[in-house]
Structure 1
């Protein structure tokens, strides 16, 4: 899917993000995996991650991030909720309606979107389409995942990489000429890469085959080398595409906020785009790979650290299982980061 920069677009009016509460540092994980903390850090660039406590679920993170984004935007009425997640609370029904209800949004349109780690970029594209149609004036896009619930915690390949979190933005109808307006957008997929990132059991294919799920097939499986190569290629190409269609050059870009998969992927993607490493924001060392939450979490960290300022020309890019990918451009607006309202 490609969209241009004319007519009505979605404008980011508020942002908020959260991580799960339980901090897991490399030394704790290393003891269980029988590796060293440095082995994890060198391979991934990750020092720590946050994971859900027992009894918590993806929706709990989504609600907290949604509250923060709504507060940042002045608690507006919204017409829809898009929840980008690959770890919904239940296989059926979708999680978004319960999130909308818990946020006090009433009977708004609400649905889940599963594009794995590129889910937030897909959600922005879908939200822009709803607003550009004229049928909706505003909405809430949330990226939330609890990948710790589908990872084998004794697997040294996947266990160190992932953390749990959520990030959200409020979108409103506006003009591409104003700060915060989502400009050029692109999304794509390649189903031939299905097996590079997959949880084999739990869906209709396994159940219809009458095969009882075994513990191994219920965990996330990843072909690391293939994921690395395609993530870099697809995110870089998508980023270059939207930069060109926005009418910018690569030199115009102030900040690339890509999916925080691992440090090597972030560095390689920036290089493929033609950007110096310092223009590729990274917080993967502190929060790990949070899937659909990674881009909004990175945006909030960039804002709070002063790296991202109003007027900056920003590129967002994601790659995830499916395989899916996408990118968009915007000039960053003068908005505050939302905090969680007092109970």
Structure 2
């Protein structure tokens, strides 16, 4: 007799990893000054809330950052790599055109046979990946899923554009999601609107052995800000309604760590105290798909997020994509 399909999935463990090189605003200002570009610690903090970020060394890939984050999450879950039967990596900076970064991570973990694939939704990528893993667990396609956000955004930054290069950093975050008889992930919702592609993109590709188009990140900062706050509030309220919860039930808000103003604006629209907002953007910068799992792991390991807490995860990114996940820890 086959066992019944699991009804729910829960986060069993979290992990994260930052490359050793910490780059302060002053360090970045000095680098830009060598090219005659003016910026300052005060200018960056005032507009973004960012004080520092981490950059990977030349040649370090997303899968290399993902490995220690994944091992930490697997250990925190009380498992070993062989227990994992699904790997999803959210990234906009894959190691190669193909195979997927997930397959490369699978090999680094020393396991084989389980499904492994990437999700590309830029800064919303982890929310997308977590939602897909939750669905696969609920259908019985997997029981122990490794969900990772990993980025080496420093490789696609134009260091002659101070409006974008000061925003981003490198890193990886991971969770292990497991089948459960009790609710963990309560509700999720994903959206996209490709008509806003020009707000945030890297409009280049590899063709004929060379990079064609523009190989660096381009962003309309004001356009992103205006769209982000509105869609994040709307999707959060929709997910709460699906779960039969209210804003008052949220113990912690962990948004994509893009800009402190967007994050605080979203919290205020949800009538949440800023004390319930998990903030790591000041030390990590915007690590795109890695930012939510990085912040979640920091919050868990610092003792802020505890078992029994209700957490709202939400992200918005190029595409334009956005989404939210409500979960009980």
TM-score, structure 1 normalization:
0.89
Q: Does the CA-based 8 Å contact 2:254-2:314 persist in structure 1? A: yes
Is residue 2:59 matched to residue 1:60?
A: no
Aligned equivalents of 1:314, 1:104: Cα separation in 2: 32
- Cross-structure match for 2:200: 197
Query: Following TM superposition, by how much is the alpha carbon of 1:236 offset from its aligned partner in structure 2, in angstroms?
Result: 1.4
Alpha-carbon separation, structure 2, partners of 1:176 and 1:10: 8
Q: Secondary structure at the match of 1:266?
A: helix
Q: CA shift at 1:211, angstroms? A: 9.5
1:96 aligns with 2:102: yes
Larger mean Cα displacement after TM superposition, 131-140 or 163-172 = 131-140
What secondary structure does 1:328 align onto? strand
Q: Aligned with 2:13: secondary structure?
A: strand
Matched, 1:149 2:146: no
Secondary structure class of the residue paired with 1:12: strand
Equivalent residue in structure 2 for 1:254, among 237, 251, 259 = 251
Give the Cα separation in 2 of the matches to 1:231 and 1:91. Answer: 29
3-state DSSP of counterpart to 2:196: helix
Tell me if the contact between 1:143 and 1:292 (Cα under 8 Å) persists in the aligned partners.
yes
Gaps of 5+ in 1: 1-5, 333-343
The separation in 2 between residues aligned to 1:64 and 1:7, in whole angstroms, is 29
- 8 Å CA contact 2:6–2:140 kept in 1: the answer is no
Distance 2:157 2:202 in 1: 9
Name the counterpart of 2:73.
69
Contact 2:205/2:211, CA 8 A, preserved across alignment: no
Q: Distance in 2 between matches of 1:56 and 1:111?
A: 20
Contact 1:79-1:139 at 8 Å conserved across structures = yes
Mapped contact 1:52–1:146 kept (Cα < 8 A): yes
How many aligned positions are there?
A: 318
21, 42, 47: which one aligns with 1:43: 47
Q: Is the contact made by 2:152 and 2:170 (CA closer than 8 Å) also made in structure 1?
A: yes
1:137 CA displacement: 1.5
CA distance in 1, matches of 2:97, 2:198: 20
Judge conservation of contact 1:270–1:276 (CA < 8 Å) in 2: yes
- 2:35 corresponding residue in structure 1: none
> Which of 159, 184, 189 is matched with 2:187 structurally?
184
- In the TM superposition, what are the counterparts of 1:1-343 in structure 2 within 5 Å? 8-33=7-32, 34-76=38-80, 77-177=83-183, 181-202=184-205, 207=207, 213=212, 217-332=214-329
Could you tell me whether the CA contact under 8 Å between 1:11 and 1:173 is conserved in 2? yes
Q: Tell me how large the CA RMSD over aligned residues is.
A: 1.8
